[in-house]
Amino acid sequence: MTPRLPLASRRNRLRRTGTAAVLALAASTLVACSSDSEATSGEKPTELRLAIGGESEEGYDPTTGWGRYGAPLFQSTLLTRTADLGVENDLATDYSVSKDGLTWTVDIRTDAVFSDGEPVTSADVAYTFNTAAKAGGLTDVTGLDEAVAIDEDTVEMRLVEPRSTFVNRLISLGIVPEHAHAGQGDAYAQEPIGSGPFTFVDWQKGQQLIVERNDDYYGTKPDFERLVFVFTDEDASLAAARTGEVDLVALPSSLATDEIDGMELEAVTSIDNRGMSLPAVADEGKKSESGAPIGNDVTSDVAVRRAINLVIDRQGLVDGVLEGFGSPATGPVDGAPWYEPRSAIDDNDPDGAVAELEQAGWIDSDDDGVREKDGVKATFNLLYPAGDTLRQGLALSVVDMVRPAGIEITTEGVSWDEIDKRLHTDAVLFGWGSHDPTEMYNLYHSSMAGTDLFNAGFYSNEIVDEHLDAALAATDPEVANQHWKDAQLDTDGNGFTAPADAAWAWLVNLEHTYFVDQCLDLGELHIEPHGHGWPITSSLTQWRWDC
Amino acid sequence: MAVGLLNGPPLTVGRLAGRLARLLSLLVAVAIGTFVLLAASPIDPIEAYVGADSASIGTEQRDQIAERWGLDEPPLQRFTAWAGNVVTGDLGTSQVFNEPVIDVIADRFMASLSLLVLAWLLSGVLGFALGLLAGARRGTWLDRTLTWWAYTLASAPTFWIGLLLLYVFSVSLQWTPVCCAGPIGALPGEISLLDRLHHLILPALTLSVVGISPVLLHTRQSTIETLASDHVAFARSRGERLPGLVLHRVARNAAAPALMLQFAGVGELIGGAVLAEQVFTYPGLGQATTTAAMRQDIPLLLGIALFTAILVFIGNLLGDLAHRAVAPQTREQGGDASRSESRGELRDLAREQVTP
């Protein structure tokens, strides 16, 4: 036994140093805790901590796309969206569009200053738009020919062609100061200056962004002196919420079923949707510019597309796949001001689907459960990006739902690369949802067929094209909205939605789930676009602490 | 190690030139290999950049982005242009971070360095000590537990261990922070050394797991072999007993494979850092690698691949030198020409370890 002793004592020494390490650790935890409680003690915390993702790795420069949805924080925009996606003035006091739709004249307020004390001028606005048009970033200002400052507080934007959706650039493009942006290279993006509700304090890349209230802001001043955005992954975000280190956290609905002490679940309506594109032309051996084959002999029959739309139980998908966090989708823009409510159908209707199919000649003559017509079996593939469990769940449920109608769908989880090659011959489970109705144009206008992922099914209807063109060319927002609605379903019964051409089978709109501190009142939340997390900041200045 | 450098076979100019030539050819191979793999990757960098906002970015704008990044040219041309710039010391600009690649790597590596060093020391010291213990106590419950533990660790994914530690120590016990390299909301100037250490513990512990098992198992094996050797039997016959035996007769022999593995494992450590940093939101090179990979940031990924290749090469070189310094028999036999059999095996082993 003797020889063991020294080793044992060595081990004890090891254990002692281990204990010392744990003690040191515990001590530092205490230090950390005490400093934390100092920061958050008192009735009303001055610092708000959010784990909602949204780090802009390339920096905070609006001309390359920063702040295109949600709040640009540091900068302010000419117009903003209201909670129901209406439009109201921000930096602009008024705007008008010329009769030919080519010239947009914007009047700006004169009391706005950048956080370095310089006033916001019409020259800054013109500079911002002209720079963004050439920047090759994530804000598409390609429709702009040039922006010119006419006088102190008026800017004229001259467009290449009439485009009603240009209003979205006035809404999403934060104005940068020419004096601090021009010739600065990428330095501006690292330390932005603007006229927004917050000023930049510090950005620890990959970790957190710290901002402070801008007391010179012309609009409603935020309730919080300081905001900290923590850029954690889902799991660390959930951990941070459980330990009370963050006040607001964005989590996928699959993680939203747990309870977290002191926090409430908030499910925010969105137009973040999921739906199936269905090839609308028959297979005639044609190929797209990139060499991908086009056409599907089953889904090209409008009766099949309508039957699919009729038979799917969308509420069932919401309950079964989304855990209730969503709503049935009738089109790509549900709930937006340019949404046509008449396009909604009564789904979960197998009888209606069967009637539609039989009338079109789809009969199950060999009694194998799948209908045929002219020797073609009612069967096709449905692709979804592999690894997207939500879309996988939806796809598998859809297969079960259409089977009773005699349609057989085979699902395949594949890479986007593979989808790129097959999206014109197979159905694809896409997700879209933008605050910009340009998306509708891209998805359904015949000129967009085969461009990127747009109009994957080569859908084409002259009347729909006319409505979409008219919507883009309109100079009045109300008129534009009416044309957008007509494209979905006009009074003559033409349109791309389920009651007419049923070009797609839209399935669900997601609800974005957040855990929010019980004491944090988020006010009226905006309908969110595709993209969960950062968009919730669009109403940031209205948030209040109510405990 | 310094002793090894002095006492070992002299590092002649010719040998150094040979090493450099090998490094250069390695870098060329890594660059070409990485580029070919990336070019064949299914991720479209523009689609990944546009992300959720897909439909509001039109074709014309996409062309602009491609032009800004130089993606409008064919792959071969892009590669030769890149290689030409690299020769002049310009690694290009990261698409994701919109900063020179060299700056991104420098910034991120500084953050990773403390994590890597701590994890490296932890895995080396723990692995070696526990390996000696298991070897010396061969066949006992202690040996069986340690061996079982080592196999479990070796087969457990790093991120899973990270999540486990996160939930136990950060959420349940609340001893450690959930994320980042400093407290949430603190400015860089306000973060103390203690804070930094506190935030380093869990990621370093997670990362050290990558290296513990091989070191432990190999140390155990060589401890067992040495304990069975003649010179130990001789020492035993002179009355030396276990702890002294292990410390004086075995440790030095067992240290050779441990050191070799430890240095050769640098590559694996960097690979593990990718996952560990992701779990703990630790802003190092690993996290940057993940971001770059998700977004198909070819200049940054190429830069990181070259940089880590150099690190792994240096690791192997140091392993060689350290091994030579510690294991007397290789020094006596001298030179690369005549290696002992065990050394040959070790080199094979080391080679297996370099892939991150």
Q: Between chains, do A207 and B43 touch, taking CB under 8 Å as contact?
A: no
Domain extents in chain B: 2-41+91-354
- Interface touch A208/B163, C-beta < 8 Å: no
**Could you give the C-alpha distances from B36 to A435, B72, B81, B94, B109, in angstroms and in order?**
39, 17, 15, 18, 25
Quick one: pLDDT at residue A26?
41
How far apart are alpha carbons A56 and A60 in whole angstroms?
7
Minimum CA–CA partner of A210 in chain B: B185
Residue pLDDT, tens place only, B219-238: 999 888 888 888 888 888 88
Calculate what percentage of chain B has a pLDDT beyond 90. Answer: 35
Residue in B58, B171, B183 nearest the CB of A140: B58
Would you say how long chain B is, in residues?
356
Q: Is A277 on the interface with B (CB under 8 A)?
A: no
Q: What is the reported pLDDT for A185? A: 77
Q: How far is CA B194 from CA A25, A27, A45, A245, in A?
A: 9, 10, 26, 19
- Domains plus CATH for chain A? 63-188 (3.40.190.10), 272-509 (3.10.105.10)
Buried b / exposed e over A433-448, threshold 16 CB at 10 Å, is bbbbbbbbbbbbbeeb
Q: Express as a percent the part of chain B with pLDDT over 70.
A: 88
Q: Which chain B residue has its CA at the smallest distance from A137's CA?
A: B65
Q: Indicate whether A451 pLDDT > 90.
A: no
Which stretches of chain B are DSSP H helices? 2-7, 13-39, 45-50, 59-69, 75-87, 101-136, 141-155, 158-165, 193-227, 230-237, 242-245, 251-264, 266-279, 285-294, 298-326, 328-333, 341-353
| Residue A291 touches partner B, C-beta closer than 8 Å | no
Helix axes A122-135, B59-69, angle to 10 degrees: 80
Give the per-residue pLDDT at A253. 84
**Coil, strand or helix: which one is A347?**
coil
Is B2-41+91-354 CATH 1.10.3720.10? yes
Query: What number is the average pLDDT over the span B6-10?
Result: 50
**Could you tell me the pLDDT band of residue B11, with boundaries at 50, 70 and 90?**
low
Out of A8-22, A216-230, A305-319, A450-464, least confident range: A8-22
Residue B175 sits at the chain A interface (C-beta within 8 Å): yes
- Which range is most confident: A489-503, B221-235, B273-287? A489-503
Side chain identity at B89, as an amino acid letter?
Answer: G
The answer to whether the Cβ–Cβ distance between B56 and A439 falls below 8 Å is: yes
Instruction: Give A205's contacts in chain B (Cβ within 8 Å).
Output: 97, 107, 283
Beta bridge partners of A49: A228
CA distance A438 to chain B (A): 6
Under an 8 A CB cutoff, do B61 and A232 touch? no
* Joined tokens for residue B180: 């980042």
Per-residue pLDDT at B144 exceeds 90: yes
Per-residue confidence at B330, pLDDT binned at 50, 70, 90?
Answer: low
Minimal-distance CA residue of chain B relative to A166: B56
Confidence of residue B10 (pLDDT cuts 50, 70, 90): low
pLDDT band at B147 (very low <50, low <70, confident <90, very high): very high
DSSP A128: H
pLDDT value, residue B329: 61
Residue B207 contacts residue B239 (beta carbons within 8 Å): no
Q: Does A236 touch chain B (CB under 8 A)?
A: yes
> Read out DSSP for A257-282?
TS--TTEEEEEEEEEEEEEEE---S-
At residue A25 the predicted structure's pLDDT band, cuts being 50, 70 and 90, is: very low
Max Cα separation, chain B?
Answer: 86
Check CB contact under 8 Å for B53 and A454. Answer: no
pLDDT, residue A9, reads: 36
Mean pLDDT, residues A495-507: 96
**Of A458-472, B113-127, B254-268, B326-340, which range is least confident?**
B326-340
Res A43: pLDDT: 60
Tokens of A366: 């060999």
Task: State the nearest Cα–Cα gap between B253 and chain A, in angstroms.
Answer: 19
Interval A28-42 mean pLDDT:
41
Q: Which residues of A touch B68 (CB under 8 A)?
A: 135-137
Give tens-digit pLDDT for B176-230.
Answer: 999 898 899 899 888 899 999 999 999 999 998 878 888 999 999 988 888 888 8
Check residue A460 and give its pLDDT: 96
Query: What do you get for the CA distance between the two ends of chain A, in Å?
Result: 66
- B39: chain A residues, CB-CB within 8 Å: none
pLDDT at B333 over 60: no
Q: Residue A183 gets which letter from DSSP?
A: T
Name which of B129, B184, B291 is nearest A57 (Cβ-Cβ).
B291
∠ CA A152-A158-A159 to the nearest 5 degrees? 150
ipTM of the complex: 0.82
For the entire predicted model, the pTM comes to 0.85
Long-range contact set of residues B191-195: C-beta below 8 Å, sequence gap at least 24:
B194/A28, B194/A31, B195/A28, B195/A31, B195/A32
Show residues of chain A in contact with B50, CB under 8 Å.
Answer: 138
Q: pLDDT tens-digit profile of A79-128?
A: 999 888 899 999 999 999 999 999 999 999 999 999 999 999 999 999 99
pLDDT at B250: 82
Among chain A residues, the shortest Cα distance to B172 is held by A243
Distance CA A425, CA A456 (A): 9
Q: Do residues B245 and B234 make contact, with C-beta atoms less than 8 angstroms apart?
A: no
| Whole-number pLDDT of residue B9 | 53
Q: For residue B179, what are its two tokens?
A: 């994320």
Q: What is the pLDDT of residue B356?
A: 37
Would an 8 Å CB–CB cutoff place A240 in contact with chain B? yes
CB contact (8 A) between residue A49 and residue B170: no
* Closest alpha carbon to A223 in A547, A470, A542: A542
pLDDT at A320 exceeding the cut of 60 = yes
Interface of A with B in 121-150 (CB under 8 A): 134-138, 140, 142
Residue of B nearest to A4 (CA): B243
Contact A496, A461 (CB under 8 A): yes
The Cα of A159 is separated from the nearest Cα of chain B by a number of Å equal to 15
B70 touches chain A (CB under 8 A): no
Residues whose CB is less than 8 angstroms from the CB of residue A393 and which lie 6 or more positions away in sequence, other chains included: A320, A321
Q: Give whole-number Cα distances, A108 to A93, A135, A155, A214, A237, in Å.
A: 5, 24, 8, 20, 40
pLDDT, average across residues A19-31: 40
Q: How close does chain B come to A373, measured CA to CA in Å?
A: 36
Task: With H, G, I as helix, E, B as strand and everything else as coil, classify residue B347.
Answer: helix
B55 touching A (Cβ < 8 Å):
yes
Arithmetic mean of pLDDT, A319-340: 93
pLDDT digits (tens, 9 = 90+) for B47-92: 888 876 677 788 888 899 999 888 888 888 889 999 999 989 899 9
Residues within 8 A of B (CB atoms), A 186-225 only: 186, 189, 201-202, 204-208, 210
Res. A32 pLDDT band, cuts 50 70 90: very low
How many residue pairs bridge chain A and chain B with CB atoms within 8 Å of each other?
192
Indicate whether A414 pLDDT > 80: yes
Interface touch B185/A226, C-beta < 8 Å: yes
pLDDT at position A28, please?
42
Amino acid making up residue A33: C
Residue of B55, B281, B288 with shortest CB distance to A231: B281
Query: What is the rounded distance in angstroms from the CA atom of residue B226 to the CA atom of residue B251?
Result: 9
Does the beta carbon of B201 lie under 8 angstroms from any beta carbon of chain A?
yes
Please check the confidence at residue B125 and state whether its pLDDT lies above 50.
yes
Question: Would strands A379-385 and A198-204 be described as parallel, antiparallel, or unpaired?
Answer: unpaired
Rounded distance between C-alpha atoms, residue A1 and residue B21, angstroms: 56
Mutation target among B53, B164, B247, B279 for the A interface, most CBs of A within 10 A: B53
pLDDT of B242? 75
Neighbours of A364 (CB within 10 A): 15
